[in-house]
Structure 1
């Protein structure tokens, strides 16, 4: 596992775009069907857009019909952190990058086998490294 990254919110503002900051640091959500990766079918690895940590492999990506990139599992145990989220009058589980604490999306228990989970991520929270 990689060392944790700690920055002030002002430092994050300097390194992220305005839209990335809203989602990654202020727990915003991009509109469905608008993100750059929800229809991506290339082989590769999805990384945290804030710190570059590898998070999800394309082998666990599936079309959930939700309008956001969805995955059945993280690329490796400990790459993401789960946190209870009761905002907006809902009970959900937020997913954060374990390295920098940035908000990535939420996980739900309505995904396909083998895990039964759907990691519903914001495209703007991710970067993509294409497999060569």
Structure 2
């Protein structure tokens, strides 16, 4: 099991931009079609903006048409955790980083095969490193 990274709110605020903090630590969301990775087509790996944990590969990224970066599976299931989200009078499954509990987005059962899942994530919760 991965050892959890725990920091105070002040430590997270000092490390992250206001938007990153709002999304990743306060469970916010960016507006559709505004995130820097929505249209990213480069090969590489997406990391948690809070702790640097590698989470998703560009090989599983697809254009869902929703306005957020979407993936059909994480690098490893243990890299992310799923939590029931009942906010805004809805029932959704929240996706958080398995290492620091940073909010990434939500997962839905309407993605492509082979998993049928759509991990709909916020660019503000991610960093990207291009494959050389």
TM-score, length-scaled by structure 2: 0.98
2:37 aligns with 37
Q: CA deviation at 1:88?
A: 0.6
Please give the secondary structure, in 2, of the residue aligned with 1:45. Answer: strand
Q: Is the 8 A contact 2:2 2:98 kept in 1?
A: no
Residue-pair matches, total: 132
- Return 5+ residue gaps in structure 2 as ranges: none
Deviations 1:4-34 (A, max 9, x none): 2110111111111111110001000000000
Q: Tell me how far 1:2 sits from its aligned partner.
A: 4.8
RMSD (Å) for aligned C-alpha atoms: 0.9
In structure 1, runs of 5+ residues without a counterpart are none
The CA deviation at 1:3 is 3.1
**Paired position in structure 2 for 1:123:** 123
Is residue 22 of structure 1 aligned with residue 13 of structure 2?
Answer: no
In the alignment, what sits opposite 2:67?
A: 67
Q: Which residue of 2 aligns with 1:79?
A: 79
What stretches of structure 1 move > 6 A for 4+ residues in a row? none
Per-residue Cα deviation, 1:34-73 (whole angstroms, up to 9, x for no partner): 0000000100000001110000000000000000000000
SS of the equivalent of 1:19 reads helix
Q: Does 1:95 align with 2:95?
A: yes
Deviations 1:93-118 (A, max 9, x none): 00000100000000000000000000
Q: Distance in 2 between matches of 1:30 and 1:109?
A: 21
Determine whether 1:49 maps to 2:49: yes
